[in-house]
């Protein structure tokens, strides 16, 4: 079983940003990807804001907040996920973009990396058919 040390999150909207925030709070180095640098920066700003709110409420120490923020790296490139142990997609809730993404991740990620989806409405099986994981050979 793969030890999870680095988590990748693709799509930093409400769900993906929340997943990335929890990952950095839990102590994981986290790579977050958005389609533009501006969207990535906005997501990082939201995460920083929510972490600051936790400090203000006494739920998190300032030093822990700063360390968490330091564990997040941002990218617009999928190649940045090559060394991730776990990659979670949280992109638009449409089948074809998810299939295309998993096909690319299958090419980029290590064979022992765990690829996961945050879908709430689509078939996970249908989403993964373009990857070797979906074809049972990953």
Compute CA 6 distance to the chain's CA centroid, rounded to the nearest angstrom.
10
Domain ranges of the chain: 6-128
When pLDDT is cut at 50, 70 and 90, the band that residue 131 belongs to is low
When pLDDT is cut at 50, 70 and 90, the band that residue 135 belongs to is very low
Tens digits of per-residue pLDDT, 27-81? 999 999 999 999 999 999 999 999 999 999 999 999 999 999 999 999 999 999 9
CATH number assigned to the domain covering 6-128 = 3.40.50.720
- CB–CB of 135/105 below 8 Å? no
pLDDT of residue 138: 40
* pLDDT at position 110 over 80: yes
pLDDT of residue 125: 54
- CB–CB of 60/54 below 8 Å? yes
For residue 114, give the 3-state DSSP assignment.
Answer: strand
């Amino acid at each position: 079983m793969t030890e999870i040390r680095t988590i990748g999150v693709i799509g930093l909207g409400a769900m993906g940003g929340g997943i990335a925030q929890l990952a950095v709070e839990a102590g994981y180095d986290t790579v977050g990807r958005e389609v533009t640098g501006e969207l990535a920066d906005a997501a990082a700003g939201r995460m920083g804001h929510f972490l600051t709110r936790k400090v203000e409420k006494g739920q998190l120490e300032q030093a822990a907040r700063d360390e968490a923020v330091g564990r997040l790296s941002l990218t617009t490139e999928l190649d940045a996920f090559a060394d991730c142990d776990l990659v979670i997609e949280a992109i638009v809730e449409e089948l074809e973009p998810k299939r295309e993404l998993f096909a690319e991740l299958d090419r980029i990620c290590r064979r022992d990396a765990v690829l996961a989806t945050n879908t709430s409405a689509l078939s996970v099986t249908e989403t993964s058919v373009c990857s070797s994981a979906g074809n049972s050979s990953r």
